[in-house]
Structure 1
Amino acid sequence: MIAIKPVGLFFLFVLAPAAAQAGASNGSNALALAAIVGELSPQTSAPNKKLLAAFFSGKADAPHAKDLRIAVKADAIDCRAGNVDITSRACELTFGAKKIELRGRKAHELYATLIENGVALDGAAGASHASLAGLDCIVDADEVAEKAGGGARCAFNP
């Protein structure tokens, strides 16, 4: 019989790659991320984009169909902010074969929202990056309307 010492387990977890661990957020941070990405997503319908925008603007009582759940997905998001050229801000969002680029204020809004949702910063070549893959958000409209702190959840891979 092989005995595993607790110290060995500790080193196993420390040496495991951080990228293999998934990220998640919920509540107001997840709602912000879903609303910003949902606005740009080709898979999100116009009525759902409008409802997400209303929720993000503080209108929890916006009319919606009962039991409505809005899915917002993106294959990848990569945002960067210059730390040498401090005027540089850009994001690239990937939805299947479609890529969308943001610059300036809109890029910064998404960059800051990624960080707010727990996406780690990575610095390289004069810029800081906040990147994720496999974004999958669900917004439960009835739960958001309850104003009890729930209703939005996002999962992603850092």
Structure 2
Amino acid sequence: MIPVKTFGLLSLFAVIPVAAYAGVSNGSGALALSAIVGDGSPLTSPADKKLLAAYLNGRADAPHAKGQRVAVKADAIDCRAGNVDITSHSCDLTFGGKKVELRGRKAHELYATLIENGVALEGAAGSSHASITALDCNVDADEVAEKAGGGARCAFNP
């Protein structure tokens, strides 16, 4: 039997609209997401792209300015992988008014990284689909260099 207090709380939650919870990731998955999206972003400087690529290639000791932080943002990311045409992999990234298309291996890498970061898959006609909006990643270069598991954080809306 459910106690009256528990029933009352459950009833209250049933009638109160709940806002969608944003996704959050930290550590290795967030670093990979930052590096892959940052590489395709027209908003990320060449120097920041180089640093993120070095980190993704296992070089935590990559030279950087003390206190350097790299921000990677995207308005929307929409990736698809074919489950009928299994050679089909594509991602569309939106940065303000600019759109970037990834195809093939790079698209699959981003698709898999979204899943690694907890983005749920959805089915569509002939493909599976992972998408997010409002991606906001921050990489703290000093913290990454410490090799203690931190330094990269991403937030997004599923």
Same fold? TM cut 0.5: yes
State how many pairs are aligned: 153
Provide the residue aligned with 2:26 in structure 1. 26
Aligned equivalent of 2:137: 137
Render the CA deviation track for 1:95-145: whole Å, top value 9, x for unaligned: 111111111111000000000001110111111110000000000000000
Q: Distance in 1 between matches of 2:111 and 2:36?
A: 11
Gaps of 5+ in 1: none
For the residue of structure 1 that corresponds to 2:86, the secondary structure is coil
Q: Percent identity?
A: 74
Q: TM-score, normalised by structure 1?
A: 0.92
Tell me the distance in 1 between the aligned counterparts of 2:143 and 2:21. Answer: 28
The letter for the 2-side match of 1:118 is G
Counterpart residue type for residue 132 of structure 2: L
Select 1:6's aligned residue among 9, 13, 22. Answer: 9
Alignment of structure 1 residues 1-158 onto 2, 5 Å: 5-12=8-15, 16=18, 20-158=20-158
Q: Deviations over 1:49-86 (max 9, x none)?
A: 10000011000001100000100000000000111111
Q: Name the SS of the counterpart of 2:150 in structure 1.
A: coil
Unaligned runs of 5+ in 2: none
Look up the equivalent residue of 2:84 and give its one-letter code: V
Taking only aligned residues, the RMSD between alpha carbons, in angstroms, comes to 1.7
Name the TM-score, length of structure 2 as normaliser.
0.92
CA distance in 1, matches of 2:74, 2:81: 20
Tell me the distance in 2 between the aligned counterparts of 1:156 and 1:6. Answer: 29
Residue identity in the other structure for 1:5: G
